[in-house]
Structure 1
């Protein structure tokens, strides 16, 4: 019998689910063992909205993995090593976001709260959802309401800051011998009704990705410490050698500590004293200009602690007499942390301050050794660290501000992942999630999973089409392709339905649409978010050239996908649509020199209504080709005054430069923004030059692809090809060595100043090598290097 057939969801009685934004609830279940079971003891657990499960005080599971109600996940863990002879306890802390509140944007909450646990500890000892569980609403821990967010930092997406009063903590509640007699017995949580075909809100599925490790880590150094003599040295002794710092009574102390690179983790503070003290914790990405002057937000040198100020969401902990351990429920993102500690009538001892780093456990199989003088290794490192911090249970636009999974952002992050590792489990989860989000009009939800309907960016759905072709090229999974065809067709038909009288993609219907293209300073307009980041021609003339161009590119991608699986008629239809649309673009949006940002603006003065975007995507769409495309792309990046592509769009600028045959000429200019990030002392790639917000944005990790796919030149076969392609750009680097795994082969490419290129594979492999414009098919015998003269 399936465990779900004999297990009930439970919850705490008299719980008020209307309290906003949410509450913490504690659950306990004790049991006795005469002996430790011989084999694995499998615990299955899930909750709505989030939980941490411990066995005899040791954390065994943190979840559920982010999802949506129609595919809600549960975790399955072996707890045998945590059991003891005698009394045992399973304790679960649950964060429940009220369905009437926004909560945290990427956490889905169903109409019902709930906890489900199943564990057959031993024959005859089954732990399941029933009234033997004890429960209590945690009065000590509160989620800080959005009204208290510092909106100078931007929108309040995450909503996970805490205010915890240690004096109200149920101390020892995770211990087996804790007295829970005053706690209430759990009750069923169910929507089922007699004689009605009603199911629970959650369709449970096993977690599809690994558990995220939590790795013990320490801060690197103390930068600022104010309040008593030798404070910096004392705090460094605490961080490095766990030497207690004692803070005198009746004073306030400010300490700022650093992690050498931006990271994500569960911070933990251990302290002790005889009276209540207040500890305020600010996690920050960077030091920045003081905002109290009323000047706009500005970040320059991120590590300038002598002149900069730390800003960020705040957690507050009030201590209780005795030993205290404070750890926020959700992980934090930080490079710097400021502690402001105010003691009362007794001293406070700080016994430890550290964290457990947590990220998706991606095993990187790619390595590079570029010329030391090129600076590419440093750019590679910050790009990899960016991607690492934007991978948890979903891909995230940024770990600090939002943790949202956007379609456009994620397409890039998936490609970057494929160039580092053969692990596509998180990618598959992402692809399936977006497919499941498809709306009646054919579009995918712009960000998903999400706890509410959000503004729709129609063009983002097209990037899901690219995801499908990308995945096939790297993993050859035709089954995934075939089950995606219906979703692709409905996406494309949405755009076909908005073709206007000029034959262009026209205005998107509906009041919930944002026709976002890119974070471009010239496109910031008054009138709210829906007027921002859009070429002005869209509102003036009912069309933006970019929208037609990106649709053409998606049609070509879909045509290749359909041809791959034998849908030739559909492929021909998509190709015909694309060819016709390119004709209309050239008719209405090209003046012989530039692709205009929309129709009806040929007489715009100067470079107004002209952008790098329209030129980039005209080349990628095939609207222009050959020498004309080459001249256009060179002109695009050598003419000041055009609306400039931001970091995610620079990925497509690199692709256009490669397609037009001018990659080598433009590479120094296109890579310059990442060199500037190093100058500004970033350890991750920032979101945009047009605004000073996120310092870690996954869509900006483009150099990962450039180093492997262009400089090293190793790419998987195109959709309709069979052999990997090796086309190193040997003119851009004096020497280089890199290794990447493509499908079943590890391919190593190296060259140096002697003019010799070596190519090697660890399995017998056919490859195409491109040098000097000539293609040579090579059979690489396992472990035997092929040598070519550059």
Structure 2
């Protein structure tokens, strides 16, 4: 693991603090910047309202006698920043968090600097009342602290020049006041991902990030408080930002071209445009429209370069898909369909070489570009975008002659990437919020595909910090408005248990056990005398099942539900193992007793002997895949009945069906019951999404009507191709033991690789030859299970007969 390097003597307290943040990217952080107020101050633009919507530019020129080998700085802002050095876009941030854990990013600017004159410039924006739901805020501000003698030259102070860019105003999405001062647009369904932008190019600042720009008339920065680290010794930071170092890397920024023009009117389109840049001239007094198709869903910063067209209006609208009524239909088809969604508006100033790039990224497959010119033509020189996302390095590899499986992996990985930025997200277009239920699956996709643990740990950190005084986590975090889904607090315990087995930082997990204990204590308050959870407050969402109101399982007349009781049972089982492995043995034993009592109560109360199923309610008139899947996963049913229950779980029509999300648990249950060889036959939902042109997995089972086209809670095949089919899973905390239990079904030859904290795992199964070759990282042992036999595996290459 990467660790902090101290540059002066530290106290035991700071050693603990440094241990708490164990994965900063190798930069040195002197202890003084973790325990004392910074020399740098938060700065803003004088005579502006720091609580209001606004976009601000900050510049600092300085001279270096020689090009430095290193130039380490810490940077943060509220709400957001884009950092440029000598005209190059270097970074964006800060990583999402809350005021008491406000991230500062750690960057080395040396590669962008030169001997002589240099410029650091930053665009900061505050979307105030219109900000995304994930954005927690104090007020507008920027802070940069150099952590070495030479980099302290860019500390934010009064020497920084600044100005407000008054050309911006928000374009509100789904806003209640259609007659307000700002333009609006519409997105179908719940939308909280922030506004679009309207820019009057006549007052827009351009070229400010480049050397030679004249900022003589700009103001000197207004000074605020010094930077206050969270763990200052002997100093209270008041109500402003408490700074912590982010261990999330800078997001990837990769230019990408659009694939094609799907529709056009009002203007001829040059051949190859916009896949290749070219010149597109919209005559005076003309209305033109281009429907641009990226050909796949993406998260990116759109950029438009144009000239002329004084007072021409340019509208850019972004959509995952087009609509025909309330249906999306085939995503590749556009005829007769309508665009709705987030929108940006530009009013041209008539000058040459105008440039636009969005403040925040947009999510889109399609962009509708509308231009309405007045008395002069407008020339579009280029339109392209810059992809952004968490900079994962994909390490998994599947070798098989099966195009469908490869396409599913490709779609699932794109879905996972688009739902991973500075945090995991449920969806990139509509919410950009890190929900625990989604994130548990996303974390496993990450670990199986990349082995990168940073975003997983960051998610667990944020969930733990989100806990309220009663012990529950919030359902999503960070978030401006608290939302409580108590069942997601139980999945948090499950996610922590996942990380215990697939991560390698057991001390990190141990630090979180206090939170899991508080979650379980909360639920004890709502258990009736029979042990059942009754009248659980707040939104006890489980799944978007077709017949469940707002995703909540039905309650019996006494206010109880087997689905809730079973989820609590699983949480107690996870918690018991967490305590047994790295916590308190007494608590482990207590949790085991509570789990045993829950089992007895659930069987007595919900088991329908005639149907051979667990009912959802004590009345035994409603049944679901959810309850019966969790019954298998928890070991509730006698082993001799499990196969029969699993058959009903697969085939019984009276069961409420799980959505694409909860199929994750259904498939785990079926595999545990001995049906893993059928895994590929269970993927018809995913096939239905592919059949109508989705390039990511949708939020709902029905891809025609799903709100979001991109929800990574549906990316479970990217786990199960390796865990179920190739059979690779953890058999001990820290992934110290690997269990190989393949379910090849009709596949005769398949091989694959996946990351492990100590290296790579590889398997190669060849049933025609009757042989398996398995390779384990150094220092790791394992077990191979096949045809009811067990073979011990050692580090390095192992060959096993499959005959």
Q: For residues 36 and 763 of structure 1, what CA distance do their matches in structure 2 show? A: 45
Q: For residues 308 and 127 of structure 1, what CA distance do their matches in structure 2 show? A: 52
1:535 and 2:553 correspond: yes
Q: Structure 1's 271 and 672: CA in aligned 2 closer, same or farther, altered over 3 A? A: same
Q: Which residue of 2 aligns with 1:677?
A: 689
Aligned equivalent of 2:785, options 763, 766, 770: 770
Q: For residues 150 and 541 of structure 1, what CA distance do their matches in structure 2 show? A: 45
Summarize the alignment of residues 121-140 of structure 1 with structure 2, pairs less than 5 Å apart.
126-140=153-167
Cα deviation, residue 63, structure 1: 0.8
Q: Which residue of 1 aligns with 2:772?
A: 758
- Secondary structure at the aligned position of 2:441 is classed as helix
Q: Which residue of 2 aligns with 1:544?
A: 561
Query: Unaligned 5+ residue runs, structure 2?
Result: 1-29, 179-183, 229-233
Cα deviation, residue 260, structure 1: 2.8
Contact 1:37-1:122 within 8 A present in 2 as well? no
Q: TM-score, normalised by structure 2?
A: 0.89
Q: Which residue of 2 aligns with 1:14?
A: 47
Q: Which residue of 2 aligns with 1:518?
A: 543
Contact 1:277-1:342 within 8 A present in 2 as well? yes
What whole-Å deviation, never above 9, does each CA across 1:249-291 have from its counterpart, x for those lacking one? Answer: 11111112222321111111111115232111112112331x3
Q: Which residue of 2 aligns with 1:225?
A: 264
1:25 and 2:56 correspond: yes
Q: For residues 80 and 478 of structure 1, what CA distance do their matches in structure 2 show? A: 35
Q: Which residue of 1 aligns with 2:67?
A: 37
Q: For residues 722 and 426 of structure 1, what CA distance do their matches in structure 2 show? A: 21
- Secondary structure at the aligned position of 1:9 is classed as strand
Q: Structure 1's 594 and 13: CA in aligned 2 closer, same or farther, altered over 3 A? A: farther
What whole-Å deviation, never above 9, does each CA across 1:341-399 have from its counterpart, x for those lacking one? Answer: 112211111111111111111111110023326x2111111111111111110001111
Q: For residues 789 and 168 of structure 2, what CA distance do their matches in structure 1 show? A: 66
Q: Structure 1's 273 and 720: CA in aligned 2 closer, same or farther, altered over 3 A? A: closer
Q: For residues 358 and 728 of structure 1, what CA distance do their matches in structure 2 show? A: 36
Q: For residues 152 and 489 of structure 2, what CA distance do their matches in structure 1 show? A: 49
1:216 and 2:231 correspond: no
Quick check: 182-191 or 731-740, which moved more?
A: 182-191
Q: Which residue of 2 aligns with 1:253?
A: 288
- Secondary structure at the aligned position of 1:27 is classed as strand
Cα deviation, residue 238, structure 1: 3.2
- Secondary structure at the aligned position of 1:358 is classed as strand
Q: Structure 1's 186 and 354: CA in aligned 2 closer, same or farther, altered over 3 A? A: same
Contact 2:502-2:733 within 8 A present in 1 as well? no
Q: For residues 398 and 585 of structure 1, what CA distance do their matches in structure 2 show? A: 35
Contact 1:191-1:198 within 8 A present in 2 as well? no
Quick check: 742-751 or 114-123, which moved more?
A: 114-123
Q: Which residue of 1 aligns with 2:221?
A: 186
1:616 and 2:653 correspond: no
Q: Structure 1's 466 and 121: CA in aligned 2 closer, same or farther, altered over 3 A? A: closer
Summarize the alignment of residues 459-608 of structure 1 with structure 2, pairs less than 5 Å apart.
459-509=487-537, 513-524=538-549, 532-537=550-555, 540-565=557-582, 567-592=584-609, 593=611, 595=613, 598-602=616-620, 604=621
Cα deviation, residue 173, structure 1: 2.6
What whole-Å deviation, never above 9, does each CA across 1:466-522 have from its counterpart, x for those lacking one? Answer: 12221121123221222111111101111111101332011123xxx1111211221
Quick check: 119-128 or 466-475, which moved more?
A: 119-128
Cα deviation, residue 204, structure 1: 1.4
Contact 1:67-1:449 within 8 A present in 2 as well? yes
Q: Which residue of 2 aligns with 1:643?
A: 656
Contact 2:767-2:802 within 8 A present in 1 as well? no
Q: For residues 389 and 164 of structure 2, what CA distance do their matches in structure 1 show? A: 30
Q: For residues 158 and 274 of structure 1, what CA distance do their matches in structure 2 show? A: 31
Q: TM-score, normalised by structure 1?
A: 0.90
Q: Structure 1's 705 and 127: CA in aligned 2 closer, same or farther, altered over 3 A? A: closer
Q: For residues 226 and 110 of structure 2, what CA distance do their matches in structure 1 show? A: 33
Q: Which residue of 1 aligns with 2:15?
A: none
Contact 1:475-1:743 within 8 A present in 2 as well? yes
Contact 1:469-1:719 within 8 A present in 2 as well? no
Q: For residues 799 and 725 of structure 2, what CA distance do their matches in structure 1 show? A: 19
Contact 2:62-2:153 within 8 A present in 1 as well? no
Summarize the alignment of residues 365-444 of structure 1 with structure 2, pairs less than 5 Å apart.
365-372=395-402, 375-444=404-473
Q: For residues 398 and 735 of structure 1, what CA distance do their matches in structure 2 show? A: 36
Q: Which residue of 2 aligns with 1:659?
A: 672
Cα deviation, residue 134, structure 1: 2.4
Q: Which residue of 2 aligns with 1:527?
A: none
Contact 1:48-1:95 within 8 A present in 2 as well? yes
- Secondary structure at the aligned position of 1:601 is classed as coil
Q: CA RMSD in A?
A: 2.4
Report how many residues are paired: 752
Q: For residues 196 and 410 of structure 1, what CA distance do their matches in structure 2 show? A: 36
Contact 1:560-1:719 within 8 A present in 2 as well? no
What whole-Å deviation, never above 9, does each CA across 1:143-172 have from its counterpart, x for those lacking one? Answer: 223426555611221113111111110233
1:141 and 2:175 correspond: no
Query: Unaligned 5+ residue runs, structure 1?
Result: 292-296, 525-531
Cα deviation, residue 763, structure 1: 4.2
Q: For residues 707 and 254 of structure 1, what CA distance do their matches in structure 2 show? A: 43
Quick check: 73-82 or 471-480, which moved more?
A: 73-82
Q: Structure 1's 482 and 353: CA in aligned 2 closer, same or farther, altered over 3 A? A: same
